[in-house]
Structure 1
C-alpha cells in the first residue's frame, strides 16, 4: 500500500503536534464512533509473537474518577517530598493530570499470560510484551491527536489504586491510565517545556552511528 506525500505529511504533523494534555479539557463527550476508531488503532499496535497482550478499560463514572484522583493526590504529595528548594516549589505548581476534568479515562493493561508461558520473540527479552502494550498506548495517543482529541498519561498514581478502582485481576499488569477528551487548544510546545522544567534536546544529541561512542 503506497503512502502519498500528503498522507506522509499528515502523519508527521500528528507526531509533532501530539501533546501530553493535563488541562483545558472540554466537557463535551467523545462520540462512540470516534472512541472506537481510536481503540481500533491501539489494537493494531505491533506485539511480540502477535500475542496482543493489551486490554482497554474505558472509564466514564465520576465516582471511579474521584477514587483515582485521590490516589493521584497521595502519590503527588509523596513525590513532592523527593524534590528540594525551587525544584520542589516548581513541581508543586505544575498541573499534572486531568482525571476528573477529562470526559474519558482509559486504562491500558497487559496480560503476560495471554498466549502461554513461551512466546515467540519473548524468550531472550521477556519484557517485550510490556513494550508491546506501550506501543498500543502510542498508537492510541496518535490516533486521538488525529481526531483532535487531547490525551494525558497519568503516571503519578500507585497501581493498587487503579487496580482496586477498576477491579483488575492481580495477574494483569497496569501499563497506563490515560485522560482523553476534546480540549480548548493544543499548545505549540509541551507543558513541561513551557513551564521551564526541562528543554527539548536536539535530536542529533540522541543519534549514534555504528557505536554508542567511538572505539578506543
Structure 2
C-alpha cells in the first residue's frame, strides 16, 4: 500500500502546530526591557537550543559571546550613538522626525548583551558544502541566531538585534579571534510588554507588504 504525504503521521499535534504559529507571530524585536536578569541556567538552555540549528557540513560556525564587562558595554553604546547620529543625518523632512522618535536599541536597560560572530573558515565540517558558496557559513550562524530568538520568545524572554553599529569597531572592542566575522549584537532580557506586531509598524514607520506572502512563479 502506498502512503501519500498527506497521510504521513506527524510527531506533533494540531495544538502544537497552532502554538508554533503563535510563537512565530509573537517573536518581536524587543527594545524595551526590564532590568532584572535572566537566570544563567535559562541562558545556557537558550544557547544549547541555538546549537541545534542546521549548519553547512555540520560546521557549527556560530560563536556566541556574552558581553559582561562595563567598559566594553560602554564602548558598544558609544559605537551605537555615533552610527545612529550618522543614520539620522541621512534622513530628511518627516522621515527624520519619525526616525528621531524611534527607540532603536535596548542597550541601556537589557540585563544581558550577546554578540554573535561567525567563524567563516571553520575546520569543523572539513569544508563540506561550502566550496562553491562559502557564505553558507554566515547563513548557518544567522539560523542559529533565529533559533536562539524563537527559544527565548517561548520562555517569555525578549531579544533585540542592534544593527546600527560599526562591525569592525564592535569586533575590536570585544577582542575576539580576528578570523571571526561580526554578525549581531543582541540585547536579551524580559520585555516590558509583549506585542504581536512589530514596533516599527505600530509607530507608523513601515507596514508589512502582503505581496511578500505570495510565491514568485517561474
TM-score, shorter chain, exceeding 0.5? yes
Alignment counterpart, residue 198 of structure 1, candidates 206, 213, 217: 206
Residue 128 of structure 1 corresponds to 136
Alignment of 1:93-104 (within 5 A): 93-104=101-112
- Show the counterpart of 2:14: 5
Q: Mean alpha-carbon deviation: is it higher for 150-159 or for 184-193?
A: 184-193
Which residue, 38, 53, 75 being the options, matches 2:46? 38
State whether residues 157 and 189 of structure 2, in contact with CA within 8 Å, keep that contact through their aligned partners in structure 1.
yes
The 3 A distance-change label for structure 1 pair 91 and 124 is same
Q: Residue 24 of structure 2: which of 1, 12, 15 is its match?
A: 15
Residue of structure 2 aligned with 1:208, choices 202, 211, 215: 215
Contact 1:57/1:107 (CA < 8 Å) preserved in 2? yes
CA apart distance, 1:172: 0.7
Contact 2:60–2:124 (CA under 8 A) maintained in structure 1: no
Cα shift at 1:173: 0.3
Give 4+ residue runs of structure 1 displaced > 3 Å after superposition: none
Cα 1:78–1:208 shift into 2, 3 Å:
same
- Superposed, 1:180-199 pairs within 5 Å as 180-199=188-207
- Alignment partner, residue 174 of structure 1: 182
Alignment pair present for 1:81 and 2:89: yes
Deviations 1:136-175 (A, max 9, x none): 0100100010010011000001012321221122211011
- State the number of aligned residues: 209
List alignment gaps of at least 5 residues for structure 1.
Answer: 212-216
Q: Of residues 149, 153, 159 in structure 2, which corresponds to 1:145?
A: 153
- Per-residue deviation, 1:117: 9.9
Q: Secondary structure at the match of 1:173?
A: strand
Q: Does structure 1 conserve the Cα–Cα contact (< 8 Å) formed by 2:105 and 2:160?
A: yes
Q: Give yes or no for the alignment of 1:70 onto 2:87.
A: no
Normalising by structure 1, we get a TM-score of 0.91
Distance 1:94 1:68 in 2: 19
TM-score, length of structure 2 as denominator length: 0.90
- 1:33 offset after TM fit, Å? 1.5
- Compute the RMSD of aligned alpha carbons: 1.7
| Conserved? CA contact 1:38–1:143, under 8 Å | yes
Q: Which runs of 5+ in 2 are unaligned?
A: 1-9
